[in-house]
Amino acid sequence: MSDLRIEIERLFALGSEAKSQAGAMETFLAFREALSSGEVRAAEKRDGRWQANAWVKQGILLGFRLGVNQEMEACKSFSFIDRHTYPVRHYAAEDGVRIVPGGSSVREGAYLAPGVVCMPPMYVNVGAYVDEGTMVDSHALVGSCAQIGKRVHLSAASQVGGVLEPVNATPVVIEDDVLVGGNCGIYEGTQVRRRAVLGSGVILTRSTPLFDTVKGEIYRATDAEPLVVPEGAVVVAGARSISRGKAAEWGLSVYTPVIIKYRDEKTDKGVELEDLLR
């Protein structure tokens, strides 16, 4: 794998000239296969911290440089026009991934582990890693390079944003056993620690402060670190009043996510229903 990394980094550094390099496409296809099989990942946890693998993101971007627009078909009535280096991914029964009929698609270069369930319609973009036993529900999006753990439930219409550039930026990470409620949005490198629960409509970005009413803390992203949702936190959509200017005079408030408790036995019983759907 070190040889592949060296070659990807060399080709990426060449910019548009990479197209004229002998063996460039063969190198990219070998990289794409490693990405699709989960052998390489856009980000990994090392020494307790999630870190981006910049060379992997460089390889993904290289694919766009090498690709040309081409007509492609998932089936005769379902066609696309996209870079030929990133066609729709096809699965066989032995892959162990369940994709229910109804307009879903997964791009080549994304990894779905055995036991993943995809409800229609949903979409998984290149570079994403979706681990065992996760359910991607209807109208959900898993963005480029997003890292999704084991036994996660991405409920209907939830959006997990993609972070492809800059290449050293850590993508959105959702760790094991997290429940993401309907219509949630997790963006801009936000990290959700294991066993957290996001109630319906929670939006998390780099500019969103997260208020912890249990511990009396306020969590924010910094220039160096993303917003992090603590392990086992139960987060709901809340509001806070504006104390200055016309907004205060008019009694206006703004949205904010709020931690109202930490996961307990009662919370666990409330999320058991998803197991029946598998």
**pLDDT-derived band at 77, boundaries 50, 70, 90:** low
Give φ, ψ of 224 to 5 degrees.
-100, -25
Non-local (6+) Cβ contacts of 264 within 8 A are: none
Distance CA 117, CA 108 (A): 17
Domains and CATH numbers, the chain: 2-66 (1.10.166.10), 93-276 (2.160.10.10)
CB contact burial 14-41 (16+ within 10 A = b; e otherwise): eeeebeeeeebeebbebbbebbbeeebb
- Condensed to tens digits (0 to 9), the pLDDT of residues 173-231 reads 999 999 999 999 999 999 999 999 999 999 999 999 999 999 999 999 999 999 999 99
Distance CA 113, CA 26 (A): 25
Query: pTM here?
Result: 0.92
Residue 267 has pLDDT above 70, yes or no: no
- Condensed to tens digits (0 to 9), the pLDDT of residues 43-53 reads 999 999 999 99
- Condensed to tens digits (0 to 9), the pLDDT of residues 127-168 reads 999 999 999 999 999 999 999 999 999 999 999 999 998 898
Whether the bond between 171 and the residue before it is cis, its omega within 30 degrees of 0, is: no
